[in-house]
Amino acid sequence: MIEFSNVSKRFGQDEAVDGVSLSIASGELFVMVGPSGSGKSTLLRMINRLVEPDEGSVCIDGQDVRNTPVTELRRGIGYAIQSVGLFPHWSVARNIGTVPRLLGWKEDRIASRVAELMAMVELDASIAKRLPAELSGGQQQRVGVARAMAAQPIIVLMDEPFGALDPVTREKLQHAFRRIHADIGTTVVFVTHDMDEALQLGDRIAFIDGGHVRQCGTPLELLLHPADDVVRGFVGGTSAGLRLLSVRKVRDVMAPGNVADGTPSIHAEADLRQALSMMVDRGLRALRVDGAGDQVISLDGLLVPPS
Amino acid sequence: MNWRIAVPALTLAALLLWLPHSAPAFHAMFPSVGKPVYLRTGFGQLLAIHAGIVLLASATAVLVGLAVAALVTRPFARSLLPTANAVAVVGQTIPPVAVLVLSVPLLGFGAPPTLLALTVYGVLPVLGQAIAGLRSVPPEAIAAADGMGYGPWRRLKDAELPLAVPAIMSGVRLSVIVAVGTATIGSTVGATTLGSPIIEGLVGNNPAYVVQGALLVAALAMLADGLLEWVERRVTSRGR
């Protein structure tokens, strides 16, 4: 568990973070979202002490981060940033193995871990010897994610890791990352300014603005009960309804029903936005749900209010 | 086959073999000269001393230059950075001869003042380029290194210096080439180098000596450049 207790940080005259208290549960994918300069990255960097708070404290599992030697602390925490920060003079494999090497792992253990990670982030083993400059932006980001995960850290910090990618690549990586997180269950703290990304990825979301936490809750809570007009402005707008669909699963609203034979089906874990898209695409009012007996999802089902 | 090493190396070897027997050729070129070939010291010996002085001075210069550059780019010594930069830039505008002349009162005549002058003068390009190289390391690479738990020393060794290598090597190349040329002038203060036939030729009105010394120095400079280019490529492709 990561706990911020009343932390503040000033840079010169500017209050970057002002009396923030937050607690992040173990295994959670926690997203901090907010406009540029809101203080979200500053908060993130307090966890691995790249920034030291002026007031308050940050604890990991009850231990103040200041009580652990800084290099030891950082080697136990994965870190991925938007610009990736891969070492341009090192191959993909060497970059991924950076932290294990710092920790003094044996070469063969590093090599097998690197191979495992490259498979996990869906990178072809044949690019292991390439230099970062020879990769596409999406591949570099995958290397960055793999590097952050390399030493099996209990916490991974990600600062807009997919920010510089085109929408298609970004969506692919978001899906891959959700799957990876579900598999390994590491605590992830993820910073982004993209509300859709936050809603897509987060188990819980903290909306940060002007150095304060305006609201902290599940994606559904933020969408249904925004704490104030600022949050409403961010989560709402013309696509509010679609966002609401995107954070709910087919499983949540499917119901027994009858559809004609040969009606296409959708996975129970798919989100309602995908279901709507499929209905519009095929011109249907209802879809069969994969492997769920007589369960169907209908247009009316999409309108059922979340419980 | 690396031609940039092989050609000057073979030229140098051929000159060493041929020059002792080149009296007829130089007599034909400069008929007025009484002794057409420099004989006071063997060309091989001159070359060895010359190369030795350059090697010693340059090695020291590179170490000092890198150490100072690394120091002044650390956060706690940032206040020294402008001074170090100014020394590197302004220092290179002072001609090497001046440095040589100034070191004579300290060390007397012969090889020592030459060694000192070459070292001091050789530090400057290394220092300037290393500072530029270290400062141009992408801040993301540094942030990533810090975030992953690199200590300051390890970060310098594994991330900053390797990323600054192209700039550093251009400084080293410049430093060594200048040293090869400047060691020649060392002969004006009594050091025995490939400059000896040149200086003696200039003083004694013997163009044959000048040509003989100049040919060897030129070949040596090209060989040094070829070797350093090879080193540079080796160092930058490491870590693949």
Contacts of B150 in chain A (CB under 8 A): 71, 102
Cβ separation of B239 and A72 shorter than 8 Å?
Answer: no
How many contacts does A have with B, using Cβ atoms within 8 A?
Answer: 70
Residue with tokens 């991974």: A156
> What is the arithmetic mean of pLDDT over A139-151?
89
What would the pLDDT profile of A66-92 be if each residue is shown by its tens digit?
999 998 999 989 998 876 678 888 899
Span of A214-223, B102-111, B127-136, B220-229 with lowest mean pLDDT: B102-111
List the 144-203 stretch of A: residues with Cβ below 8 A of B: 147, 157
Does residue A174 carry a pLDDT above 70?
Answer: yes
What is residue A307's three-state secondary structure? coil
Q: What is the mean pLDDT of chain A?
A: 89
CA distance A117 to A124: 11
What would the pLDDT profile of A290-307 be if each residue is shown by its tens digit?
877 788 888 888 888 877
Contacts of B234 in chain A (CB under 8 A): none
Q: What six digits make up the tokens of A84? A: 């990736």
Q: What's the one-letter identity of residue B202?
A: L
> What is the arithmetic mean of pLDDT over B17-41?
87
Interface residue A101 vs chain B (CB under 8 A): no
Does residue A111 carry a pLDDT above 70?
Answer: yes
Interface residue A91 vs chain B (CB under 8 A): yes
What is residue B46's three-state secondary structure? helix
Beta carbons of A194 and A218 less than 8 angstroms apart: no
Contacts of A157 in chain B (CB under 8 A): 147
Instruction: Give the residue on B whose Cα is nearest the Cα of A103.
Output: B149
How far is the alpha carbon of A218 from chain B, nearest alpha carbon, in Å?
28
Number of other residues whose CB lies within 10 A of the CB of residue A140: 21
How far is the alpha carbon of A171 from chain B, nearest alpha carbon, in Å?
24
Write down how long chain B is: 240
Q: What six digits make up the tokens of B81? A: 């950075």
Contacts of A98 in chain B (CB under 8 A): 148
CA distance A147 to A100: 9
Beta carbons of A150 and A97 less than 8 angstroms apart: yes
Contacts of A137 in chain B (CB under 8 A): none
Contacts of A50 in chain B (CB under 8 A): 143, 146-147
User: Which H helix or E strand runs over B218?
Assistant: helix B207-236
CA distance A135 to B37: 60
Helix, strand, coil % over all residues of chain B, rounded to 5: 80, 0, 20
What would the pLDDT profile of B67-110 be if each residue is shown by its tens digit?
999 999 988 888 898 999 888 888 888 888 888 888 888 888 88
pLDDT at residue number B237? 65
Assign residue A286 a region: left if phi > 0, alpha if psi is -120 to 50, beta otherwise?
Answer: beta
Cβ separation of B149 and A70 shorter than 8 Å?
Answer: yes
Residue A20 φ/ψ, nearest 5 degrees: -90, 130
The closest of A191, A224, A221, A218 to A205, measured between CA atoms, is A218
Beta carbons of A253 and A266 less than 8 angstroms apart: no
Residues on chain B bordering chain A, Cβ-to-Cβ distance under 8 angstroms: 138, 140-141, 143-151, 154, 158-159, 162-163, 165, 236, 238-240
Long-range pairs, A140-145, Cβ under 8 A, ≥24: A140/A84, A140/A86, A141/A84, A141/A165, A141/A169, A141/A173, A142/A173, A142/A176, A143/A84, A143/A86, A143/A92, A143/A95, A143/A96, A144/A80, A144/A81, A144/A84, A144/A85, A144/A86, A145/A80, A145/A121, A145/A173, A145/A177, A145/A180
How far is the alpha carbon of B130 from chain A, nearest alpha carbon, in Å?
17
User: Alpha helices of chain A — where are they, by DSSP H?
Assistant: 40-47, 70-75, 92-96, 98-102, 107-120, 137-149, 167-184, 195-201, 219-224, 229-235, 240-246, 250-253, 272-282, 299-302
Beta carbons of B183 and B99 less than 8 angstroms apart: no
Q: What is the mean pLDDT of chain B?
A: 89
Number of other residues whose CB lies within 10 A of the CB of residue A35: 13
Contacts of B239 in chain A (CB under 8 A): 89-91, 94
Q: Which of B149, B159, B163 shows the shortest C-beta gap to A74?
A: B149
What would the pLDDT profile of B128-141 be if each residue is shown by its tens digit?
999 999 999 888 88
pLDDT at residue number B184? 92
CA distance A65 to A48: 8
Cβ separation of B141 and A88 shorter than 8 Å?
Answer: yes
Contacts of B165 in chain A (CB under 8 A): 89
> What is the arithmetic mean of pLDDT over B154-179?
91
CA distance A165 to A163: 6
What is residue B87's three-state secondary structure? helix
pLDDT at residue number B171? 93
The closest of A11, A13, A12 to A46, measured between CA atoms, is A11
CA distance B141 to A54: 26
Cβ separation of B239 and A99 shorter than 8 Å?
Answer: no
List the 209-268 stretch of A: residues with Cβ below 8 A of B: none
pLDDT at residue number B240? 46
Report how far apart, in Å, the C-alpha atoms of B217 and of each of A98, B10, B185, B223 are.
Answer: 46, 14, 11, 10
Does residue B172 carry a pLDDT above 80?
Answer: yes
Cβ separation of B240 and A129 shorter than 8 Å?
Answer: yes
Contacts of A131 in chain B (CB under 8 A): 240
Contacts of B146 in chain A (CB under 8 A): 50, 74
CA atoms in the 13 A half-sphere facing the CB of B20: 9
CA distance B66 to B88: 12
Interface residue A73 vs chain B (CB under 8 A): yes
Q: Which of A81, A89, A98 shows the shortest C-beta gap to B140?
A: A81
Beta carbons of A206 and A39 less than 8 angstroms apart: no
The distance between the two most distant Cα atoms of chain A, rounded to a whole number of Å, is 68
Q: Which of B140, B143, B148 shows the shortest C-beta gap to A98?
A: B148
Q: Which of B137, B140, B142, B148 should we substitute to test contact with A (largest number of A Cβ atoms within 10 Å)?
A: B148
Helices (H) and strands (E) in chain A, counts: 14, 14
Task: Tell me the pLDDT band of A126, cut-offs 50, 70 and 90.
Answer: very high
What would the pLDDT profile of A236-287 be if each residue is shown by its tens digit?
777 788 888 888 888 888 888 888 888 888 888 888 988 999 999 988 888 8
Does residue B56 carry a pLDDT above 60?
Answer: yes
What would the pLDDT profile of A18-41 be if each residue is shown by its tens digit?
989 999 999 999 999 998 888 899
How far is the alpha carbon of B156 from chain A, nearest alpha carbon, in Å?
13
Task: Tell me the pLDDT band of B238, cut-offs 50, 70 and 90.
Answer: low
CA distance A10 to A169: 36
Does residue B219 carry a pLDDT above 80?
Answer: yes
> What is the arithmetic mean of pLDDT over B6-32?
90
Residue with tokens 């969506």: A171
